Amino acid sequence: MNNNVQYILNNNILLKRYLREHSVYYKNIIRNPNFINEMNELMKKDYHLTLPDKLDKIKNNISLINTFMDVLK
């Protein structure tokens, strides 16, 4: 495995965990080190770390707070 790829994996715990959970990607990374960028995007989608996911989570939290505020009135 490329040293660059190893460095990226060692510094990104979530990406490293994702690779362990989806071991089929080892072959892709060894053959094409640039696949790490695509794998990072896949990891964000699977772990719900994309911007729309984060915004949706914030929206849900605000809705929950509003519900509690209505109950307290």
Record the tokens describing residue 45, joined without a space.
Answer: 């989608």
CA distance linking residue 53 with residue 63, whole number of Å: 15
pLDDT tens, 26-60?
999 999 999 999 999 999 999 999 999 999 999 99
Burial environment of residue 54 by CB neighbours within 10 A (0 to 12, 13 to 18, 19 or more): exposed
Record the tokens describing residue 71, joined without a space.
Answer: 């109950």
CA distance linking residue 64 with residue 56, whole number of Å: 12
pLDDT tens, 9-34?
999 999 999 999 999 999 999 999 99
- What is the model's pTM? 0.78
CA distance linking residue 69 with residue 71, whole number of Å: 5
